[in-house]
A and B are shown apart, each in its own frame.
Chain A
């Protein structure tokens, strides 16, 4: 059997995925036509593109996936006509394909109302990655934004505008309230005021009559004769099903668009199905993914039954779908489920409306008080999943019905307990139709991580809304099986890093073997050795190569240098704050020449010398230390550099002496071992030439003192540091830094940078501030003392290594020929220096 699919969007893709999975006999061949340039991607999370997700991250499957599964995929090639007699389709690029069955998954387009001026530059729709890229380009020069549409998609677009930096944005809704299809008047009002708090201006009952401007938009005019200036507009006023192809092929379409289908999702031609947002079922277009996925399943079931000549069972018809939704709009939760609006005989509504906290909840309950019919949540939708399941599965409500939205007062607040009350056939993930039973079964089979469960059952891979519930179920199932759920280091230690840290300290353990003997089992491995060695170094400040701990160090730490391509090492002397005398520069030059090293300025204002043979390292360091240098710890999970701008000593804008402060900070924290590397920066004014806000800690001069920022990150996932305290003096700043760093050193998981550590911290920066500034944990005195101890016991590791013959002897390549270097090391010449030979 040959199936041709038109449209490679979310539902078209899901259809392929399900068909491939079910077509085990491999007797169905699949050809797909997609109009967009890339294979199907996650449109639901389109806005995350602004938050740094790439097109690849959004992709649902790679091109390879299609070819590996024998699917012929034509991209950038829309189908332009269908010949139903000959059962053939014709594409724009001239491809002709015959079919046994045709599946239309053409989705929908943004509905653009016929307002004069919509064609002007600066007017956008928001549906594809291309739309988004156009918006990004234009937003750079825009200041005044507007969005037509105050529904689900319009508010999503308004969020996009804020994300794009167009903070002065107005939302224009034709109806008298926001999200008229999902929430009631009271909920709308609350949402309205919450969004205005965030800086959006919202107009309801407002009807746009013209878009003004020459080539590009400059303003908008309304039916009430008002107008305002706008230089960027997104129209998000609804969707229009893509039924043009079906129309041209004389298939039946609805009066207001959409390809008419029956309960089997067949169009008026029984060999042609329509699924997703283009399909009109019982007068309804479903503008959400979950119903689209359900439609895909229904058609897959029918086609596989036909191809294999097997009975269909009851999976072959579509009976409508629940339109419950939960969204996070610009930080405001909005959800509606079941029938949000029911009223009338015997239906009771319980309403909780707290305009101070900004929370509105309404649930509709049957006359006997036993069943939940639907509801609305604005401002706090934490209970959404539970309520939705309770509603769908007709779970009998507790006698104090209000508890389900208010939480049991005065009782145990176990948030996850609710999942136990659901029946096994409760559908937890509606996108993928995964039941509670199958999730629990997966856990019992040993899938004990959310990722594992996602892979095994596909739950949580659609809109992702059910992930918190999946996690709850996982934890419950594991607990029920008597398993303790822990975040442990590896098979040798049943402890998290933080637990180990405390235990090592309590028991005063000082070598890796002692730790393993007392707290672990087996013989250790490359996963637990470095973190334990790091904890020992953080706690006791002893030279890391001390006997017994040397071979537990990560190999860069073990040789106090970074291994590079080809097996040679790089050498980075500390240059605090990036300040260096001409004499020291000359020494670096001389050493580099003598040992034939490649030199480069690093990103952290230091000089890196590459290509050193292992056996040359002690000699190189001997000369550097002689000239007054010390280890730069570039090899360690420890403080790297504190970058500085030149500051008030030379810069005409400088407010304070950023270089002196940077040197002070760098010298204070040098050698501090941490779960991951640490970088700092100090800028002399708000112009921020030291890029301090991209560091683990950044200090910026203000008129009155310094602002301290923490938990920034460059690297693969850049993140700006957040303000911890403002206008503080140097001493206070160091005090806060002592506490902050010790808090991090003590509690972070291995290889977790400060940014990720903060992202995972409950309460985020506010909580961190309460600990560091207001001593919420009562640990500050202890942490300051620990830091003081670190500062006082610091010594240069390289100095210790070259002065101790036992340690120095390890820096040879051949144990039985110490004078020989590794003969396999080869360099190639490049720009008057050398480079490592490319590896194979």
Chain B
């Protein structure tokens, strides 16, 4: 049997609130989510805001980019990098981060929370 994921979408902010090729931090109750607009690739990504290396709420302030075409974010603290697609740590030594789905409708950015 395949378990269906139920996704609840919540409106995070408007497209223009997020800097081009950068990130912002979104509050969803007690959860902090890093939301990125990879303008160059016309893609949106969302991950947990906390860097698992030293538990710092900082990933939304990190630089984004690609490594062999894999979109990634670098934590501002010690430059550990994480895949924006899978959440896997690309610097090899920290745990993976959680990722969320993102959609844009009428200039509003929605983040999908799975229960």
Could you list which residues of chain A lie within 8 angstroms of chain B, going by C-beta atoms? 491-492, 513, 516, 522-530, 547-548, 550-552, 554-556, 558-559, 563, 565-567, 810, 813-817, 820, 822, 824-825, 839-840
Could you list which residues of chain B lie within 8 angstroms of chain A, going by C-beta atoms? 12-13, 17-22, 24-27, 32, 35, 38, 40-41, 50, 54-58, 61-69, 71-72, 74, 76-77, 79, 81
Which of A523, A528, A548, A558 is the one whose CB lies under 8 Å from B41? A523
Instruction: Count chain B CB atoms within 10 A of each CB in A555, A559, A810, A815 and give the residue with the most.
Output: A815
Contact B66 A813 (CB under 8 A): no
Q: Which residue of A lies closest to B73 (CB)?
A: A526
Q: Which residue of B lies closest to A839 (CB)?
A: B54
Return A361 CB to nearest CB of chain B, in Å.
50
Given contacts A491-B67, A815-B24, contact A526 B79 (CB under 8 A): yes
Tell me the bound Cα distance from A492 to B72 in angstroms.
14
Given contacts A523-B38, A563-B77, A567-B56, contact A555 B26 (CB under 8 A): no
Contact A555 B62 (CB under 8 A): yes
Tell me the bound Cα distance from A839 to B53 in angstroms.
10
Return B58 CB to nearest CB of chain A, in Å.
5
Inter-chain contacts of A551 with B (CB < 8 A): 19-22, 63-64
Ordered by A's residue number, 25 sampled pairs between the chains whose C-beta atoms are within 8 Å are A492-B65, A513-B40, A522-B66, A523-B65, A525-B67, A526-B63, A529-B65, A551-B19, A551-B22, A554-B63, A558-B22, A565-B56, A567-B57, A567-B58, A813-B25, A814-B25, A815-B12, A815-B13, A815-B17, A815-B25, A816-B12, A816-B13, A816-B27, A822-B57, A839-B56
Contact B61 A816 (CB under 8 A): no
Instruction: Count chain A CB atoms within 10 A of each CB in B25, B61, B63 and give the residue with the most.
Output: B63
Return A812 CB to nearest CB of chain B, in Å.
8
Inter-chain contacts of B63 with A (CB < 8 A): 525-526, 529-530, 551-552, 554-555
Contact A491 B57 (CB under 8 A): no
Return A111 CB to nearest CB of chain B, in Å.
50
Return A367 CB to nearest CB of chain B, in Å.
61
Which of B68, B71, B77 is the one whose CB lies under 8 Å from A491? B68
Instruction: Count chain A CB atoms within 10 A of each CB in B57, B58, B64, B65 and give the residue with the most.
Output: B65
Which of A523, A813, A840 is the one whose CB lies under 8 Å from B54? A840
Return B50 CB to nearest CB of chain A, in Å.
8
Tell me the bound Cα distance from A262 to B56 in angstroms.
64
Q: Is the interface of A mostly helix, strand, loop or mixed?
A: loop
Contact A556 B54 (CB under 8 A): no
Inter-chain contacts of B32 with A (CB < 8 A): 814, 822, 824
Sample of 7 further A-B pairs with CB below 8 A, known A555-B61, A563-B76, A820-B27: A516-B40, A526-B63, A551-B22, A551-B63, A566-B56, A815-B26, A824-B32
Contact B74 A558 (CB under 8 A): no
Inter-chain contacts of A814 with B (CB < 8 A): 25-27, 32
Contact B40 A523 (CB under 8 A): yes
Tell me the bound Cα distance from A554 to B57 in angstroms.
17
Contact A522 B69 (CB under 8 A): yes
Given contacts A523-B38, A810-B19, A839-B55, contact A555 B65 (CB under 8 A): no
Q: Which residue of A lies closest to B56 (CB)?
A: A567
Inter-chain contacts of A547 with B (CB < 8 A): 20
Inter-chain contacts of B56 with A (CB < 8 A): 565-567, 839
Return A488 CB to nearest CB of chain B, in Å.
15
Q: Which residue of A lies closest to B23 (CB)?
A: A551
Inter-chain contacts of A567 with B (CB < 8 A): 56-58
Return A329 CB to nearest CB of chain B, in Å.
42
Tell me the bound Cα distance from A44 to B90 in angstroms.
39
Tell me the bound Cα distance from A423 to B40 in angstroms.
52
Contact A523 B66 (CB under 8 A): yes
Instruction: Count chain A CB atoms within 10 A of each CB in B12, B69, B74, B81 and give the residue with the most.
Output: B74
Q: Which residue of B lies closest to A527 (CB)?
A: B65
Tell me the bound Cα distance from A689 to B50 in angstroms.
45
Inter-chain contacts of A559 with B (CB < 8 A): 61
Q: Which residue of B lies closest to A815 (CB)?
A: B24
Q: Which residue of A lies closest to B24 (CB)?
A: A815
Inter-chain contacts of A816 with B (CB < 8 A): 12-13, 17, 26-27
Contact B65 A840 (CB under 8 A): no
Tell me the bound Cα distance from A839 to B17 in angstroms.
31
Return A809 CB to nearest CB of chain B, in Å.
8
Contact A525 B65 (CB under 8 A): yes
Q: Which residue of A lies closest to B68 (CB)?
A: A491
Inter-chain contacts of B38 with A (CB < 8 A): 523
Tell me the bound Cα distance from A815 to B56 in angstroms.
18
Contact B65 A556 (CB under 8 A): no
Contact B65 A524 (CB under 8 A): yes
Tell me the bound Cα distance from A552 to B39 in angstroms.
13
Given contacts A526-B81, A816-B27, contact A563 B65 (CB under 8 A): no
Inter-chain contacts of A558 with B (CB < 8 A): 22, 61
Inter-chain contacts of B18 with A (CB < 8 A): 815
Which of A513, A563, A565 is the one whose CB lies under 8 Å from B61? A563
Tell me the bound Cα distance from A548 to B22 in angstroms.
10
Inter-chain contacts of B77 with A (CB < 8 A): 563
Contact B62 A526 (CB under 8 A): yes
Tell me the bound Cα distance from A235 to B32 in angstroms.
68
Contact B74 A525 (CB under 8 A): yes
Inter-chain contacts of B64 with A (CB < 8 A): 551
Q: Which residue of A lies closest to B22 (CB)?
A: A551
Q: Which residue of B lies closest to A545 (CB)?
A: B19
Contact B24 A524 (CB under 8 A): no
Contact B26 A824 (CB under 8 A): no
Tell me the bound Cα distance from A231 to B91 in angstroms.
55
Contact A563 B19 (CB under 8 A): no
Tell me the bound Cα distance from A513 to B41 in angstroms.
12
Tell me the bound Cα distance from A820 to B29 in angstroms.
12
Inter-chain contacts of A526 with B (CB < 8 A): 62-63, 65, 74, 79, 81
Inter-chain contacts of B17 with A (CB < 8 A): 815-816
Tell me the bound Cα distance from A810 to B60 in angstroms.
12
Inter-chain contacts of A522 with B (CB < 8 A): 66, 69
Return B33 CB to nearest CB of chain A, in Å.
10
Tell me the bound Cα distance from A513 to B65 in angstroms.
12
Return B49 CB to nearest CB of chain A, in Å.
9
Inter-chain contacts of B71 with A (CB < 8 A): 523
Q: Which residue of A lies closest to B61 (CB)?
A: A555
Which of A552, A555, A820 is the one whose CB lies under 8 Å from B76? A555
Return A636 CB to nearest CB of chain B, in Å.
14
Inter-chain contacts of A528 with B (CB < 8 A): 65
Q: Which residue of A lies closest to B38 (CB)?
A: A523
Tell me the bound Cα distance from A567 to B25 in angstroms.
13
Return B6 CB to nearest CB of chain A, in Å.
23
Tell me the bound Cα distance from A552 to B65 in angstroms.
10
Which of B13, B27, B50, B66 is the one whose CB lies under 8 Å from A525? B66
Return A801 CB to nearest CB of chain B, in Å.
14
Inter-chain contacts of B41 with A (CB < 8 A): 523
Which of A552, A554, A822 is the one whose CB lies under 8 Å from B21? A552
Inter-chain contacts of A529 with B (CB < 8 A): 63, 65
Tell me the bound Cα distance from A840 to B56 in angstroms.
10
Tell me the bound Cα distance from A302 to B21 in angstroms.
62
Return A560 CB to nearest CB of chain B, in Å.
12
Inter-chain contacts of B35 with A (CB < 8 A): 815
Tell me the bound Cα distance from A820 to B12 in angstroms.
15
Q: Which residue of B lies closest to A822 (CB)?
A: B57
Q: Which residue of B lies closest to A563 (CB)?
A: B76
Return B37 CB to nearest CB of chain A, in Å.
9
Shortest beta-carbon contacts, A-B, top 5: A525-B65, A551-B22, A555-B76, A526-B74, A815-B24
